[in-house]
Structure 1
Amino acid sequence: MNTLFVAWQAPEPTRAWFPIGRLDADPHDYVFRYTRGVLKARQQAGFEALVSFPDLQRRYEAVELFPLFKNRVLDPNRKDFAEYLHWLDLDPGQADPIEILGITGGERQTDSLEVFPQLKKVHDGTVTARFFLHGLRHVSEAAQLRAKRLQPGEALQVAIEVNNPATGHAIQLQTADGHLIGWAPRYLIDDLRIPLLERPSAHACVRRINEAGAPFSRRVLVELTCGVPAAFEPMTSNDYAVLAP
């Protein structure tokens, strides 16, 4: 079973993010359910049910990926699909839409939704996330120039930012020589903020660098691993609990 969560961003002035849904996929079917975070989004920011999923209490099932998500993945019939997978560091023979969405976030300019994979703790007490570096276009010119010299496998430093103007807390990625080159995705903040503050055991590295033709949002693919407390299970707070069985 592969799981993605869906986050919705509220409009101005708060621009707050809420986890509102969960998509589960196996080889035979797809299931979408709203999570309890949608109730908070509705109460605090006026969220209205997605057109594709109008009933907050219903379990939606399908044998094919729902159009809301399918439309966020590049059409496999496009000539540049192989290059697209190359940017994501995925094997063309094994990549599936859920894996693609988990890395790209499925962002579109036409709405305020983002998808992200469920974090899973493994036997050594760590969680690992792979994502594209966020905010590269917003760092200093010197940092952007330094980012152009990044190499696959290069180690990055991980730091907690406590006064980010957009999110309050944020997870920074820095080069070994001190350049802030960007941030981890928002969905990691709530689950990794406390482990990083209490016992900073995280490490990150550059998985892939995309240059020619790649937009800023697809330039630097990062893998971050963080140790978490023994009793901690990521993404199990009330906001992630599903409303329908």
Structure 2
Amino acid sequence: MSTLFVAWQAPDPTRAWFPIGRLDASTDRREYMFRYTHGALHAEAAAGFKPLIAFPDFSRKYQADDLFPLFKNRILEPNRKDFAEYLRWLDLDPAHADPIEILGLTGGERQTDSLEVFPKVRKLADGTIRCRFFLHGLRHVSEAARTRAENLTEGEPLQVAIEVNNPATTYAVQLQTTDCHLIGWAPRYLVDDLRAALLEHSTVSATVHRINRMGAPFARRVLVDLCGGVPAAFEPMTSDEYRVVAE
């Protein structure tokens, strides 16, 4: 199974994010299942979250033999003339474009709602975690840092650091060049797990996987690979807010 989580952002004033749902897809992409997580119940209590129209019951298990429209509508249509370029930005092969992989990389963001999709991070047999994501926040760094980001090269190493006074989220995961330019941040869904790993003195490293320049928006400029060892007893994304309501 491949697994994506769905996060919901509360309205002002908190703008807090909650993981509210889990989408599982079979390996052959012929079976899909959506369930709410306990994060949805936390969001309901803390910020008034209501069930999504497509999935109106917190306690129900939703199953289908095709990708649910809520998710399918967050992927660029293959008949669009810019679809091939879209996949190149993601470093995906057009002949084997997987909607789950696309959603995991793009976040399935839309201007019309407050949802974001992200992949479940799994610990591998060798005790490491590995993930790929687009650098966040490039538009918010200094002009010098943006210039430095434009000159990144594929395979270039990046430094990973925990930020403890981020004005938006308190904790954040910074990505810096080796010459100390803060060029952006890892996605928010990685913060808690990476903070736990780094507090245990684990080694986490990142490299530039791909650079998209001409025509790419800021959110698709720098594709990053991150990997690192985690404590033996540590399993990512297993806290109560990620636990499904309907087992």
* TM bracket (short chain): over 0.9
Tell me which residue corresponds to 1:10. Answer: 10
Tell me which residue corresponds to 1:84. Answer: 86
Provide the rounded CA distance (Å) in 2 between the counterparts of 1:200 and 1:86: 33
Tell me which residue corresponds to 1:125. Answer: 127
Contact 1:19–1:240 under 8 Å retained in 2: yes
Residues 1-245 of structure 1: pairs in structure 2 closer than 5 A:
1-26=1-26, 27=28, 28-245=30-247
Q: Secondary structure at the match of 1:114?
A: strand
Amino acid across the alignment from 1:165: P
1:76-107 CA-to-partner distances (Å, cap 9, x unmatched) read 11111111110001111222100000011111
Structure 1 unmatched runs, 5+ = none
Contact 1:160–1:197 under 8 Å retained in 2: no
After TM superposition, give the deviation of residue 22 of structure 1 in Å: 0.2
Contact 1:126–1:225 under 8 Å retained in 2: yes
1:112-163 CA-to-partner distances (Å, cap 9, x unmatched) read 1001001011122110111100000000000000000001110000000000
Q: Secondary structure at the match of 2:148?
A: helix
Provide the rounded CA distance (Å) in 2 between the counterparts of 1:95 and 1:123: 27
Q: Secondary structure at the match of 1:205?
A: strand
Contact 1:107–1:113 under 8 Å retained in 2: yes
Q: Secondary structure at the match of 2:228?
A: strand
Contact 2:158–2:208 under 8 Å retained in 1: yes
Provide the rounded CA distance (Å) in 2 between the counterparts of 1:42 and 1:132: 30
Provide the rounded CA distance (Å) in 2 between the counterparts of 1:159 and 1:94: 35
Structure-2-length-normalised TM-score: 0.97
Amino acid across the alignment from 2:53: V
After TM superposition, give the deviation of residue 197 of structure 1 in Å: 2.5
After TM superposition, give the deviation of residue 11 of structure 1 in Å: 0.8
Amino acid across the alignment from 1:21: G
Provide the rounded CA distance (Å) in 2 between the counterparts of 1:226 and 1:34: 29
Segments of 4+ moved more than 6 angstroms: none
Provide the rounded CA distance (Å) in 2 between the counterparts of 1:112 and 1:146: 31
After TM superposition, give the deviation of residue 200 of structure 1 in Å: 4.3
1:20-42 CA-to-partner distances (Å, cap 9, x unmatched) read 00000012211000001101000
Provide the rounded CA distance (Å) in 2 between the counterparts of 1:165 and 1:81: 36
Provide the rounded CA distance (Å) in 1 between the counterparts of 2:236 and 2:89: 28
1:169-193 CA-to-partner distances (Å, cap 9, x unmatched) read 0000000100000000000011111
Provide the rounded CA distance (Å) in 1 between the counterparts of 2:188 and 2:128: 19
Provide the rounded CA distance (Å) in 1 between the counterparts of 2:143 and 2:93: 33
- Give the total of aligned pairs: 245
Q: Secondary structure at the match of 2:139?
A: helix
Q: Secondary structure at the match of 1:69?
A: helix
Provide the rounded CA distance (Å) in 2 between the counterparts of 1:5 and 1:120: 13
State the identity as a percent: 71
Alignment root-mean-square deviation, CA: 0.8
Contact 2:162–2:171 under 8 Å retained in 1: yes
Provide the rounded CA distance (Å) in 2 between the counterparts of 1:153 and 1:197: 26
Name which of structure 1's ranges 85-94 and 165-174 shifts more when overlaid on structure 2.
85-94
Contact 2:121–2:237 under 8 Å retained in 1: yes
